[in-house]
Chains A and B, each alone.
Chain A
Amino acid sequence: MSITQTLQIAWEGLMLNRVRSFLTTLGIIIGVASVIMMLAISAGAEAAIAEQINSLGANLLIVSPIRGVPGASRTMVYEDAEAIAETVSSATSVSAEQNASQTVKGGSTTLEAISILGVTDSFPGVRDYAIGEGRFFTTEENDRGVKVAVLGYGIAQDLFGEESPIGQQITIGSTRLTVIGVMAQKGIVADVDYDGRVYVPIEIVFQKFMPTAIGGDRVRTIYVKAESPEVIESTISQVTTVLAERHDVDPAQPDFTIQTQQDIISTQQATTEAFRDLLGWVAGVSLVVGGIGIMNIMLVSVTERTREIGLRQALGARPRDVQLQFLLEALILSLAGGLVGVLAGVGGSTLFGALGEMRTEIVPLSIPLAFTAAGSVGIFFGYYPATKAAQLDPIVALRHE
């Protein structure tokens, strides 16, 4: 018997009970949708990670102080950054950062509570952060505390609109500065609004925005750019040695932490992975439940159509003709469920990406994969009912009411 004819018989069989057939496939639909969404979330997370690595800058170490370590006499200061730059050979460049929150005035606009980042001239290089317009400040301007500022893209828009901010005067707190550059647009990455900041020489933050009681040269972060990914580990140990010595602490119990990009990413990754694993379970369980649903409905169908099976056998249907007919029914059911599931999964992923914080990217390969999974479930769980149908005794089947 030809496959198209068998297909047609199987299709007619399913059309006898449309609603029942649809309900049966719900498990498959959910399972397949979960597979698609799971992979879309994974891919989205990977893309977000790649983006974050870019936003942080390649081969970056982030050194931050820990407060309250016993025996720690000092917190991290600007000289620590200079010492690292001088002694750590595998560090290609080093920058320090201290921040403050200030009111910024420019043109006729006043912006409250703007993050002012005091950094050194090496900051754009260390963080792989491009200048959009104008220039960044120089070593000399930084050391001498020249009153210049580089605006984040959004701040420049807010203050000056379409006008070029270069050469304009702004007031931060009570200090007047000249705008010499605007950073390239970067947006919000990992909850940090890069465009909503103002960058000034760190000396200015020390002099103007830090109360002297706290310590005029304390820094919040030191950025160290390692030569290559291979030397990151040795760079960490060199930085640790230098700082521990300067801070007079045990290198095993330092008063600072050194994070790599990987550390930062891992925390974020963990949440995504947990969610993805959950979806993986949902997918697996739904597919199995869906498969059992298919098996159940196929067993019902075989019982209901026992007489038909007997008749077909009498007219010459071989056991494998009957088996194939019911296997195809199960396969059509599961593939139809797969199709709806793919649509639901693609729709769900898109919706999820649009609504939630989690980024999703639909993986094209996940569609054939999901279909294969659905089809395999159909064949696996359809096999028993189909075989049962094929093994019916024609006489018994024909006598069935």
Chain B
Amino acid sequence: METPLIEITDLQKVYGVGDIAVYALRKVSLNIRSGEFAAVMGPSGSGKSTLMNILGCLDRPTDGTYRLDGEDVSHMNRAELAGVRNRKIGFIFQSFNLLPRLSALKNVMLPMLYSDVIMPLEEREILAAEALERVGLGRRLHHRPNELSGGQQQRVAIARALINRPPLILADEPTGNLDTHSSAEIMSLLADLHTQGVTIAMVTHDPERAAQAERVICMRDGQVVSDGRGDRHECLERRS
């Protein structure tokens, strides 16, 4: 069997020590295969963001191991983790996180700035323009974020997440700040990416959105309480 893209074993995250210690993750183990589209659900404070931060190499676990794409990243230093993020992970944030003074094109080009692959400027601009075309913003290359709608801004963020061709896309409530119409657009974009073979892990509170994923990981109190495929699922039922 092929090695999973994500392999976490007994992952723990503890904030603080002693009486005030908060166990954000308690011995979480799970695998995500390459090409999977997984939704992460669960009540507020259940540890979804904590898990995503560790999966995104933004944070390190207190205990346990994390292998990403066959590489043990749980003991890497900050510089090494930055390299892994740049090569292997594309982030989509709830609040878009575009730099307001840069055009859509420049925002999309940001990850290439920190890449080991040196490319001439024109080539980077062409790639960024192509990425924006793929998310339907081919005519908005030189717009600044404040000249774009929320949905368009999130599409710029998706183009930015894809620009270095990472194997993994992590999205923490990507539709949390969007109206229903824009949310649907973003979801269909993610679904397209999924069919193209990109691995996606997405946190959402919306059972409808989660139902579009092929797998739903349900968390409570820092633990995975159910993990399944299909639309009949504990988390989805409780919500609806």
Contact = CB atoms under 8 A, between A and B. Distances in A.
Interface of A: 1-2, 5, 9, 12, 16, 307-308, 311-321, 394-395, 398
A315 B111 contact: yes
A320 B114 contact: no
Given A16-B101, A395-B59, A398-B97, A317 B53 contact: no
B114 A316 contact: yes
Contact of B99 (A5, A311, A314): A311
Contacts of A395: 53, 58-59
Nearest to A16: B101
Given A12-B101, A394-B58, A395-B53, A315 B110 contact: yes
A314 B79 contact: no
A305 to B, nearest CB: 9
**Chain A contact residues: helix, strand, loop or mixed:** helix
Contacts of A12: 101
Given A311-B97, A398-B97, A317 B114 contact: yes
A247 to B, nearest CB: 86
Contact of B82 (A2, A5, A307, A316): A316
A5 B113 contact: yes
Interface stretch (B85-93, B127-135, B145-153, B187-195): B85-93
B114 A321 contact: yes
Contacts of B82: 313, 316-319, 321
A314 B82 CA distance: 7
A356 to B, nearest CB: 48
B56 interface: yes
A319 B79 CA distance: 6
Contacts of A1: 113-114
Contacts of B58: 313-314, 394-395, 398
A312 B113 CA distance: 10
Contacts of A312: 110, 114
Contacts of B165: none
A8 to B, nearest CB: 9
Interface in B109-129: 110-111, 113-115, 118
Contact of A316 (B83, B97, B101): B83
Given A314-B58, A316-B82, A395-B58, 8 more contacts: A5-B113, A307-B97, A315-B111, A315-B160, A318-B79, A319-B79, A321-B82, A398-B93
Nearest to B88: A316
Contact of B79 (A2, A5, A320): A320
A394 B111 CA distance: 15
A138 B93 CA distance: 102
B78 interface: yes
B78 A315 contact: no
A264 to B, nearest CB: 64
A45 to B, nearest CB: 51
A395 B24 CA distance: 15
Contacts of B118: 2
A315 B86 contact: yes
Given A315-B85, A315-B111, A308 B79 contact: no
A1 B111 CA distance: 10
A328 to B, nearest CB: 14
A16 B101 CA distance: 9
11 contacts: A1-B114, A308-B99, A311-B110, A314-B97, A315-B85, A315-B111, A316-B83, A316-B86, A317-B113, A319-B78, A395-B59
- B83, B85, B118: residue with the most chain A Cβ atoms closer than 10 Å: B85
Contacts of A314: 56, 58, 85, 91, 97
A321 to B, nearest CB: 6
A313 B86 CA distance: 9
A398 B157 CA distance: 15
Contacts of B101: 12, 16
A395 B56 CA distance: 10
Contacts of B99: 308, 311
A315 B79 contact: no
Contacts of A321: 82, 114
A107 B110 CA distance: 88
A316 B115 contact: yes
A369 to B, nearest CB: 35
A320 B77 CA distance: 13
A318 B83 CA distance: 7
Contacts of B114: 1, 312, 315-318, 321
A5 B110 CA distance: 11
Interface string B142-182: 00000000000000000010001000000000000000000
Interface in B67-85: 78-79, 82-83, 85
The 7 nearest A-B residue pairs measured at CB: A316-B86, A316-B114, A318-B82, A318-B79, A315-B111, A394-B58, A311-B97
Contacts of B53: 395
A9 B113 CA distance: 10
A316 B85 contact: yes
- A315, A318, A394, A398: residue with the most chain B Cβ atoms closer than 10 Å: A315
Contacts of B85: 313-316
Given A311-B99, A395-B58, A316 B111 contact: yes
Nearest to B114: A316
